Structure 1
């Protein structure tokens, strides 16, 4: 193998794409490994966000093999990065007709592309296709929750959060994403339950921070402020409890732990 290719690969493996590209650019077109080098050059250019140059090389290879799935995938990425949505969409149509309907990861790729292009109906269709193959495909469940946010569909978001919790097992750092989804759809009781279950996984200050986030969102959701008299302080749990009581029973004033409160 050409010494320039070997040196380029060393730089490539070190993620030094600028230097790798310099070596790859020195390989002539008549080199027996030139096609192999172009693939590396495309990756370097993509990593360096030089999408127009990457696209030129991709299209030169596609002229020889117009149904190469990897090249079509990268072509779609380039068009999206360049803001060429019509070109991205037409390429995506070719790509989706080539992939296997039994390949959950490829279906998810198509879903993500449609989401980036603002076609949430097709994004949801292909995401559901991936989940039909594997209902516990975590990446697809997460993507479905994001599509739900784009569609402002609280049912999709909430059901995705529940499924994600089931897959994760209800514990650990992964539950923070479930907490945020539940917070987005104002499922505050679920948020509190998640926080309580995380008690053994997080330090107390982190738990208190999560509770403070719930309190703030409750205030914004109800469009109220909680006032405590005479500079007294109450726990965050008590504050959340007062807001929930206000929401459910309309209690807007009273005394708690010897301090007067008013919600207004």
Structure 2
């Protein structure tokens, strides 16, 4: 391999992007590894935020290799960074046309691009296509969850949450997203159940999550719990009363020897 490519990759890995570009600029276009070096150069220019120069370089490469999907991928990225929305959409359409329909990675890339360009419905279409190719494509479900949140589609948020619980396999960090999806979808009972799945989470943080459910329920429903005597109920107990109210309409009673009303 050309020594300039080797040195350029080394500088790139060390995040010396300007120096990396200098080495890649020395690679001749008739070099057998030129396209690989060019892709490194593109990414180095992106890291340097030299988007206009990068786009000019990409366009010159596309003139020579008009059907290279990686170049069109980078072209879309460049237009997005330059806030050239119309050009980004045009490049994205060409990228769509070129990719292999069975490639879940590029299919998901299209979904992400549409999301960045503000077209959430097209983003959802391609996200679902990626999932159809691989029903356990975790990254696609994370992307779908973001789309569902942007669309404020509560049913879709809950659906994504359930799949993400499977992927989490008890991991506290991974369970946070399904917790939040259900919380923002007003699916409070499920949010509470997810907290119980966080076995590794300490008690203090569990209480904070439960209190966030409690406060969201009060704010969402516009209610409060009133008692005929001072009480120091645990948040679990207060939530139990709110769940009974939400599920069965129980708005008053006696709990722990204290009369209460929800109004």
Please give the TM-score of this superposition, normalised by the length of structure 2: 0.86
Contact 1:222/1:247 (8 A) holds in 2: no
Kindly tell me the number of residue pairs found equivalent between the two proteins: 261
SS for the counterpart of 1:66 is coil
1:99 aligns with 2:131: no
SS for the counterpart of 1:63 is helix
The farther-off stretch of 205-214 and 146-155 is: 146-155
* Partner Cα distance (1:257, 1:69) in 2: 67
The farther-off stretch of 34-43 and 136-145 is: 34-43
Contact 1:107/1:129 (8 A) holds in 2: yes
The farther-off stretch of 70-79 and 251-260 is: 251-260
Look up the match of 1:83: 83
SS for the counterpart of 1:213 is helix
* Partner Cα distance (1:242, 1:36) in 2: 63
Instruction: Give the direction of change, closer, same or farther, for the CA distance of 1:146–1:29 in structure 2 (3 Å limit).
Output: same
Structure 2's unaligned 5+ residue stretches are: none
Look up the match of 1:208: 207
Look up the match of 1:60: 60
* Partner Cα distance (1:163, 1:260) in 2: 41
Structure 2 counterparts to residues 185-264 of structure 1, below 5 A:
185-198=185-198, 200-226=199-225, 232-252=231-251, 256-258=255-257, 261=260, 263-264=262-263
1:70 aligns with 2:70: yes
Task: Using the TM superposition, give the Cα deviation of residue 223 of structure 1 relative to its aligned residue in structure 2, in angstroms.
Answer: 1.8
RMSD value over aligned CA atoms?
Answer: 2.7
Please give the TM-score of this superposition, normalised by the length of structure 1: 0.85
Contact 1:226/1:263 (8 A) holds in 2: yes
* Partner Cα distance (1:22, 1:230) in 2: 76
**CA deviation digits over 1:110-150, x for unaligned, max 9?**
11112222223322222221121211111112222222223
Task: Using the TM superposition, give the Cα deviation of residue 16 of structure 1 relative to its aligned residue in structure 2, in angstroms.
Answer: 2.8
**CA deviation digits over 1:31-75, x for unaligned, max 9?**
957665443221111123222221111111111111111110011
* Partner Cα distance (2:97, 2:36) in 1: 26
Structure 1's unaligned 5+ residue stretches are: none
Look up the match of 1:108: 108
